[in-house]
A and B are shown apart, each in its own frame.
Chain A
Amino acid sequence: MTNSDILLAIENLCVEFRVQKGIARVINHLNLYVNRNETLGIVGESGCGKSMTALSILGMVPIPPGRIASGSIMYRGEDLARATNARLRQIRGKNIAMIFQEPMTSLNPVYTAGEQIAETLRYHQKMNRKEAMEKAVSMLQAVSIPSPDRVARQFPFELSGGMRQRVVIAMALACSPDMLIADEPTTALDVTVQAQIFELLKELQKSRKTSIIFITHDMAAIANMAHRMIVMYAGYKVEEGFVREVLDDPLHPYTKGLMCCVPHLDLEKDGPPEMLNEIPGIVPSPLSLGGRCAFAPRCNVSIDICFNKEPPFIRKSETHGAACWLLN
């Protein structure tokens, strides 16, 4: 892995929000990188900072009350954390695009599918109306929407959830961005539709060599979609590695807990499945972080130092590591 393979590199990113009760640290010393032509999965539960990471990359964190306290987000030699709004507008949609969880709220209800895709083409690539609409229809076809010229003239309410998400993907890929950030793109969709969207994204990633940051709470989705992954907890990166490395040999107790507490379809056994391993307790408040491992209160293998000092990120191999004192 040479340095020239890296498309995006986040270094020591800290994002905080000033609220009435104090300072909420939503992203803590985050380090991650995404290579060209690869899918990086970010997995974690609500409040772990994964969506906030995506918003930070694109300069969409509301400032104030939020602020990037420190760190850098390097994209092609440019620090996005310090870019101007004008520069970020140029990058959004053209170089780095994003798709969100709820396709109904991310599509404008009063414009047709075709018009919304055409809009991004006219803005970023200065196409005229006719060219943009033609390209929009071809994008709808690229995302396997049947009868694309008819769908291009339809409004979002006339389309199913799966179709709408395909339209969103078409919009995101219209200007052939280097990178796509997909934030829980299939959570609101049925499982069979989800499978189709996974297929679609994988195909598009291969054919267009787009990098994808795939954000989800579903480990199994990561197993299917991503090459590498990071696990986040309370704004910290707690584990990182190739997907098979992490899933076959999880290092961090939280990763292990997450994997064990999801019911798996074990087709071998006949009788009732064994009781699930629970992770007791709840996620800590972002107002009371720092000075110790954020996961320690819920950890079943914690030792003294876990409650007194934040664990460093320790590498087991060049690619696989976790932030845990037990690895020391």
Chain B
Amino acid sequence: MADTTLPENTVILEAINLKIHFPVRRKSLFEKGQFVHAVDGIDLKILSGSSFGIVGESGSGKTTTALGMIRLTPVTSGRILFRNEDITNIKGDKLRRMRRHMQVVFQDPYSSLNPRLRAGEIVREPLDRMNIFDKKERAERARILFDQVGLRREQMSLFPHQFSGGQRQRIGVARALASEPDLIVLDEPVSALDVAIQSQLLNLFRRLKDKLSLTYVFISHDLGVVHYLCDHIAVMYLGIIVETAPRASLFRSPRHPYTQTLLKAVPSLKGKLTSVPLSAVGTEQATAINPAPGCRFVLRCPHSMDVCKKEMPKLKEVAPGCMVACHL
């Protein structure tokens, strides 16, 4: 287990005014530099032991946010605190030592595993690189991890291409667990998998979290999955957090117009899709490249007012644990 398991309800990972901008290639030397404001001023507090979901559609900045928070993507400005320690600019050995505590499971099971390494080697690699455990213990640890994710030990000598997508994802999870991290970022870990396999993996995530006292940062565009796995959720739109709330509140009484739109758009087995009239939600959308001032959702919002175009609304607490960024 980690050096000191934090008691529940302490903040394990925090982002303060995090911004991540990517330069857009200029067409000529004379054109002014443009930037994609992928993440544009995020404040997040993730509590130890929680399962924190970040939802949004493509281009919302959710993946960039999560990867930025664990220093897998360069940060433009703002601060990141891990267990109250500022890790925004740490480098070299210090950064490597910190990585032990924060791991990742990626979305694509086909490109996230080294095709030239055997499954057992993939799971063991973090232990070798981070110099964790005695060399003799590492092999046994890899075997235990294989068991934990529901794979058979005989499969450790196989190569990734010999496994199915769901099985590869399990290898990815075992690899993430190898260093006994406190926190795992799961970036759409089941989106590329069939429904039946998804359910197997979601249940696995749940069991592992309880058993190993993990904290999850779970990124997804699938609200059903997020509802199943997460206790606290942030909704992102074009680089901004528009709402964050505990699960029950978010789904029962979504406050931000974008959250409401998202929830209405999810088809249910009962077959009653609340019509999202084509005219009300326009097809135009604000851009994240050198964005205009004002709320990002203004072009698609059925309730937009004048102030929405001029001023970006700030996140305000409107109920215990519930924050919304809206002028309404």
| Interface residue? B67 (CB, 8 A) | no
B273 within 8 A of partner (CB)? yes
In the bound complex, do residue A162 and residue B283 qualify as a contact, i.e. CB atoms below 8 Å apart? yes
Q: Which of B199, B266, B268 has the most CB of A within 10 A?
A: B199
Partner of B269, one of A257, A264, A280: A264
Check: B251 CB closer than 8 A to any chain A CB: yes
Q: Is A51 an interface residue (CB 8 A)?
A: no
Give the nearest-CB partner of B207 in chain A.
Answer: A275
The interface bits of chain A over 183-195 (1 if a CB of B lies within 8 angstroms of the residue's CB, else 0) are 0000000111011
A144 to B270, CA, bound (A): 27
Residue of A whose beta carbon sits closest to that of B51:
A272
B203 touches A195 (CB 8 A): no
A261–B200 Cα distance when bound, in Å, is: 8
Q: Cα distance A194–B198 when bound, in Å?
A: 21
**Pair A192/B262 contact, Cβ less than 8 Å:** yes
Docked-complex contact B269 and A259, CB < 8 angstroms:
yes
User: Contacts A191-B221, A223-B269, A282-B164 known; A263 to B202 CB distance under 8 Å?
Assistant: yes
A132-140, A196-204, A206-214, A301-309: which lies at the interface: A196-204
Contact partner of A265 (CB less than 8 A), chosen from B199, B231, B268, B273, is B268
Least Cβ distance of B319 to chain A in Å?
15
B195, B200, B203, B263: which contacts A45 (Cβ < 8 A)?
B195
Does A65 make an interface contact (CB < 8 A)? no
A220 at the interface (CB under 8 A from B): yes
A108-133 vs B, CB cutoff 8 Å, 1 = contact: the mask equals: 00000000000000000000000000
In the complex, the answer to whether B276 meets A200 with C-beta atoms within 8 Å is no
Interface assignment of A258: CB less than 8 Å from any CB of chain B: yes
Chain A residue numbers with a CB within 8 Å of B268 are: 220, 223, 264-265
Residues of B within 8 A of A261 (CB): 195-196, 198-199
Cβ contacts under 8 Å, A247 to chain B: 269, 271
A264 to B273, CA, bound (A): 14
B279-295 contact mask (Cβ, 8 Å, vs A): 1 or 0: 00111110000000000
Closest to B258 in A: A192
Contact in complex: B57, A258 (CB < 8 Å): no
Question: Interface 1/0s, chain B 215-248, versus A by CB < 8 A?
Answer: 0000001011101100100000000000000001
Cross-chain contact A45 with B194 (CB below 8 angstroms): yes
Q: A45-B196, A196-B278 are in contact. Are A191 and B266 (CB under 8 A)?
A: yes
Min CB distance, A96 to chain B, in Å? 26
| In the complex, per-residue mask of B176-198: 1 if CB is within 8 Å of any chain A CB, else 0 | 00000000000000000011111
Whether B195 lies near A195 (C-beta < 8 A) is: no
Residue of B at shortest CB range from A257? B196
Q: Would you call A192 and B196 a contact (CB within 8 A)?
A: no
In the assembly, what is the distance between CA of A191 and CA of B269, in Å?
15
- Residues on B with C-beta less than 8 A from A45 are 194-196
Task: Considering the complex, give the chain B residue whose CB is closest to the CB of A244.
Answer: B271
Q: A195-B265, A265-B224 are in contact. Are A278 and B199 (CB under 8 A)?
A: yes
Say whether B225 contacts A263, CB under 8 Å. yes
Residue ID in chain A nearest B277 by CB atoms? A199
A217 to B193, CA, bound (A): 11
Which size bracket describes the interface of B in this complex?
35 or more
CA distance A270 to B247 in the complex (A): 8
- In angstroms, Cα B57 to Cα A196, docked, is 15
Q: In the complex, are the beta carbons of A191 and B195 less than 8 A apart?
A: no
Distance A277 CA – B200 CA, assembled complex (angstroms) = 8
Q: How far is the CA of A144 from the CA of B228 in the complex (A)?
A: 35
| Known contacts A45-B196, A276-B199, A146 near B283 by CB under 8 Å | yes
B320 at the interface (CB under 8 A from A): no
CB pair B283–A163 under 8 Å, yes or no, is: yes
Is A160 an interface position by the 8 A CB rule? yes
- Shortest B114–chain A CB gap in Å is 23
Cβ distance B34 to chain A, nearest Cβ, rounded Å: 17
Q: Nearest Cβ in chain B — how far from A11, in angstroms?
A: 29
Residues of A within 8 A of B271 (CB): 223-224, 243-244, 247
Whole-angstrom CA separation of A220 from B57 in the bound complex: 19
Residue of A nearest to B206 (CB): A275
CB atoms of A273 and B228 under 8 A apart:
yes
Interchain CA distance A291-B276 in the complex, whole Å: 48
Which residues in A have their C-beta under 8 angstroms from that of B284?
146
Give, as a whole number of angstroms, the nearest-CB distance from A16 to chain B. Answer: 22
A199 / chain B contacts, CB cutoff of 8 Å: 275-278
**Are B57 and A264 in contact, with the CB atoms below 8 A?**
no
Let me know if A289 is at the binding interface, CB within 8 A: no
Instruction: Determine which of A196, A244, A267 lies in contact with B252 in the assembled complex, contact meaning CB atoms within 8 Å.
Output: A267
- CB B30 to nearest CB in A, in angstroms, measures 24
Identify the interface centre among A145, A218, A258, A278: most chain B CB within 10 Å of its CB: A278
Seed contacts A190-B57, A192-B262; 15 additional CB < 8 Å A-B pairs: A145-B283, A160-B285, A191-B221, A191-B266, A192-B265, A223-B269, A243-B271, A257-B196, A263-B227, A265-B223, A265-B227, A270-B248, A276-B203, A278-B200, A279-B199
5 contacts across the A-B interface (CB closer than 8 A): A146-B282, A192-B281, A199-B278, A200-B278, A263-B199
Residues in A lying within 8 Å of B, measured CB to CB: 45-46, 144-146, 160-163, 190-192, 194-196, 198-200, 217-221, 223-224, 243-244, 247, 257-259, 261-267, 270, 272-273, 275-280, 282-283
